[in-house]
Structure 1
Amino acid sequence: MDVIVEFLNTVDQRSFSRHGQSHVGGERLASPADLAECDILTAGDELGPEDLTDAITLRTALRQSLSGEIDASKALADYPLQLAPDHSGGLRIAAQSGRPWLDAIVETVVVAVGRGEWSRVKLCAAPDCRWAFHDTSRSGRGRWCDMNICGNRHKTRVYRERRQQAG
């Protein structure tokens, strides 16, 4: 799951201020070389501009599925899957995009969906954050990427609004 969360966070949409400092987000995948820095590549993978475009397209679709903008199945609709033998003699789900690094992401997402773990990958509920995180809470109802930052900002904002309405 860490690989998927890291991939989803190659775009930083955070725009909040904390302790007087504004967070400046941005796109971490500006070139094929940036994609090469992610932990999803295997030795010998050569990347071109179309690889970068495909990575951003997949990342965008996965983030949209997490935010409820599109159905999760639509995010993976362009990636054919099949069963393939694994090294232990069993079967595994194999993506067939022709790009091993892209297949690894798709396969990890599909396996997470099958295991019921995809519901634990979330985008922070703070509209000025939207950082992807793996919800490790017992109930699986975590909303914030970091309770000490985004959760605290939300609770403080709600408290101040309540006090202002009461006063």
Structure 2
Amino acid sequence: MVPLQVIEDFLNTVDERTFTRHGRSHVPGERLTSPQALADWLAAHELRSEDTPLRRTDVEGAVALRTALRKALVADAEALRDYPLRLVPDTSGGLRIAATSGRPWLDAIVETVATSVARGDWTRVKLCAAPDCRWAFYDVSRNGRGRWCTMEICGNRHKTRSYRERRHDDRRPASQPTV
């Protein structure tokens, strides 16, 4: 079983952040740009043991799964319809959830997500609520209602923006209509 931290890292192989912090613009990026980049990522996360070289279609498959998982995090369960699961016997005589993509490393990701959904852990995997961030994170808040990848960056930016908007509204003359 792959830890959820690996799933979080997989979701963040695309960086959609576009905000500016301390005068520096964050540059979005894609880490799964080639079969070699995918092989390196899989090796770093101990998800690939076979010697068959990866192809461009493997990269496309990984990106498609990542996109589907990110959509599922924002309540689009239909996004995962192309990733069927079944129950198969495990070595202890019980049953386990198995994916059937034909790519063991892709199946490991799908199976981990399915198992975490069954355990209830998946509800803690989220995308940052900041529209210019969308970084995936595991919500460790007590009540499971965290919204920001980090309170120090995205949460603080939201609070500062809200404060400035309230303060601006308080300074508006009473005769000026609100829009």
TM-score (norm 2): 0.87
SS at match of 2:141: coil
TM-score (norm 1): 0.93
Whether 2:168 is the aligned partner of 1:164: answer yes
Alignment match of 1:36 (pick from 39, 43, 51):
39
Whether the aligned pair in 2 keeps the contact of 1:15 and 1:24 (CA below 8 Å) is yes
Query: What is the match of residue 141 of structure 1?
Result: 145
Q: Distance in 2 between matches of 1:59 and 1:44?
A: 21
Q: Give a deviation string over 1:42-73, Cα, whole Å, max 9, x none.
A: 211531111111111111111112123x2x2x
SS at match of 2:81: coil
Q: Distance in 1 between matches of 2:162 and 2:82?
A: 42
Whether 2:69 is the aligned partner of 1:66: answer no
Query: What is the match of residue 30 of structure 2?
Result: 27
Q: Give a deviation string over 1:60-117, Cα, whole Å, max 9, x none.
A: 111112123x2x2x23221222212223332110111110000001101100111111
Whether the aligned pair in 2 keeps the contact of 1:3 and 1:40 (CA below 8 Å) is no
Whether the aligned pair in 2 keeps the contact of 1:84 and 1:91 (CA below 8 Å) is yes
Q: Distance in 2 between matches of 1:143 and 1:40?
A: 30
Query: What is the match of residue 89 of structure 1?
Result: 93
RMSD: 1.2
Q: Percent of pairs identical after alignment?
A: 66
Count the aligned residue pairs: 164
Shift of 1:120: 0.6
